[in-house]
Copies of this chain bind each other. A is one copy, B any other.
Amino acid sequence: MDKRPIGVFDSGVGGLTVLKELIRCLPRERFVYFGDMARTPYGSKSKETVTRYSRQIVRFLLSEDVKAIVVACNTASAMALDTLEKEFDVPLTGVVKPGAKAAADVTKTGHIGLIGTESTITSGIYENYLKDYRPDTRITGKACPLFVSLVEEGLIEDPVTAEIARRYISGFRDTDVDTLIMGCTHFPMIEDTIQRIAGEHIKLVNPASETARSTREMLEEKDILNDTDISLDEEAYRFFVSDSPERFKKIANIFLPQSVSNARQTDVERF
């Protein structure tokens, strides 16, 4: 039993879709969320750069006395998680492994589609984890670089987003892909469009829900769940960003049913 908060980080706002699932699955936990708004996005940056940024963020979160850390960013999970696990002593979990597990559980044909940022797709990390769960599966990946900007501009139900989705996704219809991993935290925001274009026979996998479940398991295993209620008048959810908080608060409203009012800026480069 451990009352300390769980750290959650992302390159920006996308990880809020993961935080939402974490709060739902772990209602007694406190959370510290960090969004790297000064250096967002990560999806087109190199492994070395994403690892350096992630390392600074983990150090910052540890300074906030977190008991565990969820890497709520596919790109950072794909590129930096293995290094972070070697370098830090804190329990860590990412979104890729749970996403791969969920897809392995769902697929019947064994052919899984994956959409994400350029960096996530080319990393090959989903393939690696999938082989662990089900060696008979194979993955067809497709980078969808414009989805992040479209979602952040609020074009959620929009013909432009649908047209771009058609270009990225309709190719899956001509294959025996029966499961499509939304391998970027922004993508569940346009899940309806993706589903419509992929076709109803394809099952969409949102790694966020599975990540929340596997975070719970990790906390149980290490016996660090919080088993007392959090109180309504405490700051149970704290938000930090590397740039001024205005834009974060604005876009957070697209991602969360609640508004974020208390985001604070922190100088993550010094960590």
Contact = CB atoms under 8 A, between A and B. Distances in A.
Interface residues of A, number: 23
Nearest to A118: B247
A150 B48 CA distance: 26
Nearest to A245: B46
Nearest to A161: B160
A46 B153 contact: no
A145 B46 CA distance: 23
Contact of A45 (B46, B164, B243): B243
Interface of A: 37-39, 44-46, 48-49, 145-146, 149-150, 153, 159-160, 163-164, 242-244, 246-247, 269
Which 3 residue pairs across A and B have the least CB separation, nearest first?
Answer: A46-B244, A149-B149, A38-B49
28 contacts: A37-B45, A38-B39, A38-B45, A38-B49, A39-B39, A44-B247, A45-B243, A45-B247, A46-B243, A46-B244, A46-B246, A48-B243, A48-B244, A49-B242, A49-B243, A49-B244, A145-B149, A145-B153, A146-B149, A146-B150, A146-B153, A149-B149, A159-B163, A160-B160, A160-B163, A160-B164, A163-B163, A269-B269
